[in-house]
Amino acid sequence: MADYRKILVTGGAGFVGSNLALNWKRHTPNTEIIALDNLKRRGSELALPRLRAGGVTFHHGDVRSPEDLDAIGPVDLMIECSAEPSVHAGYGQSPAYLVNTNLTGLINCLDHLRRTGGDLVFLSSSRVYPIAALRALKLHQQQDRLTLTEDGQGWSAAGIAETFPLTGARSLYGATKLAAELLIEEYRAMYGLKAVINRCGVLAGPWQMGKVDQGFVVLWMARHLFGGPLSYSGFGGQGIQVRDILHVDDLFDLLRLQTTNWPAMDGATFNVGGGQAVSVSLRELTRHCAALTGRALDIGQDPETRPADIPWYVSDSRTITQATGWRPTRDVATILTDIHRWLVAERTQLEPILRA
């Protein structure tokens, strides 16, 4: 397939969106890439000079407003990366922004594509899987991490597969993502939209504005470098909970493959993540950060488990690997080294944001 002529990346000043937009422009310089963002996330404004230097057009706009999408006109491909991405959003506060952006905004994006044509890549989340079912998995502590040794429907030592049962509460954030997936399916059936859905585990890499409720890998490294409190929270405050992580550049490699293989990708939903080989517990993360920064922090313990906390999540990405041959190529050490290098190089502008 020929390369796309015009691509819109919503949330294009965010961590994932800006990295995808710039990578895409580097790979296909003749493609017009537009990054739309309302700059809600603190630190997203730092993407503007990067996007400009990389030849990506920035459009200050909001997915909640169909007029802002109209102003961009038809696109050949939309990569939907705009979101309130915190799984804790809405707890103890109004969920209005979360729902309006993640759901109404997604509907506006779908309807834009219905009217003007264009394919869709949607970034869904591992958080579509229910919290109680994930907490019920039988886990064992092995040194500094929890491990899963048994198999069940949709889960095994290889991780959580697409067949994991979906019954139960999953956080408001997760619910907006699952509802978005359902709406995408309706737009495919009703209007012939071409779309692929990626349920991503934790994504990490440079230009993620990590904070306590989202982006823990960057937050961990930033606190080691710049100072500030850190604590192991949830599940007794032991720091043994495990997540897999995926370098944002590995995600880009996958999207390039997916968008050149629509017959196999259209209508499919994939779990996408680093997998067991690229997973880390908080205690292990602490060791990596201490080694890279040369600074050992006194990490606190906060035993309270928040409503959306889960003890173990590893993506079983075997379905997408079988379909495309894609697999993650950046390991934990590479991801953390990249983040460390970036934090050191950009310290002046990053420290005020990441210390906050």
Ligand X SMILES: NC(=O)c1ccc[n+]([C@@H]2O[C@H](COP(=O)([O-])OP(=O)(O)OC[C@H]3O[C@@H](n4cnc5c(N)ncnc54)[C@H](O)[C@@H]3O)[C@@H](O)[C@H]2O)c1
**One of 4, 22, 35, 44 touching ligand X (CB under 6 A):** 44
- Dig out the tokens for 135 from the structure: 């907490």
> Pick from 22, 24, 38, 187: which binds ligand X (CB under 6 A)?
38
Contact indicator for 153, 165 with CB cutoff of 8 Å: yes
Kindly state whether residue 16 participates in binding ligand X, applying the rule CB under 6 A: yes
CB of 216 to ligand X, least distance (A): 9
The answer to whether residue 218 forms part of the interface with ligand X (CB under 6 A) is no
Taking CB under 6 A as the rule, which mask of x and - marks residues 95-114 in contact with ligand X? ------x---x---------
Q: Binding to ligand X by residue 210, rule CB under 6 A?
A: no
- The percent of the chain in helix, strand and coil, each rounded to the nearest 5, is 40, 20, 40
Residue 353: CB minimum distance to ligand X, A: 12
Q: Which is nearer to ligand X, 70 or 151 (CB)?
A: 70
Using CB under 6 A, count the residues that bind ligand X. Answer: 26
Nearer to ligand X, 62 or 181 (CB): 62
**176 in contact with ligand X (CB under 6 A):** no
Q: Between 97 and 262, name the residue whose CB sits nearer to ligand X.
A: 97
180, 245 in Cβ contact below 8 A?
Answer: no
CA–CA–CA angle 32, 37, 43 (5° rounding): 115
Q: How far is the CB of 134 from ligand X (least distance, A)?
A: 15
Which CB atom, from 139 or from 353, has the smaller least distance to ligand X?
353
Nearest to 88, CA basis, from 172, 209, 202, 203: 172
Q: Give the number of C-alpha atoms closer than 13 A to the C-alpha of residue 12, restricted to the C-beta side.
A: 31
Question: Least distance (Å) from ligand X to the CB of residue 271?
Answer: 11
The residues in 111-130 that bind ligand X, with binding defined as CB under 6 A, are 123, 125
Contact pick of 39, 137, 161, 323 for ligand X (by CB under 6 A): 39
CA distance 184 to 220: 35
Q: Give DSSP secondary structure letters for 264-292.
A: HHTT-EEEES--GGGEEEHHHHHHHHHHH
> Is residue 85 at the binding interface for ligand X, with CB under 6 A as the rule?
yes
Across the strands, what pairs with 302? 233
Neighbours of 209 (CB within 10 A): 21
Residues 27 and 13: their CA atoms lie apart, in Å, by 19
Please state, as a whole number, how many other Cβ atoms lie within 10 Å of the Cβ of residue 349. Answer: 12
DSSP state of 175: H
Does 40 engage in binding with ligand X (CB under 6 A)?
yes
Q: Which amino acid is at 132?
A: A
Least separation in angstroms between residue 78's CB and ligand X is 12
What residues line the site for ligand X (CB under 6 A)? 11, 13-17, 37-41, 44, 62-64, 81-83, 85, 101, 105, 123, 125, 200, 202-203
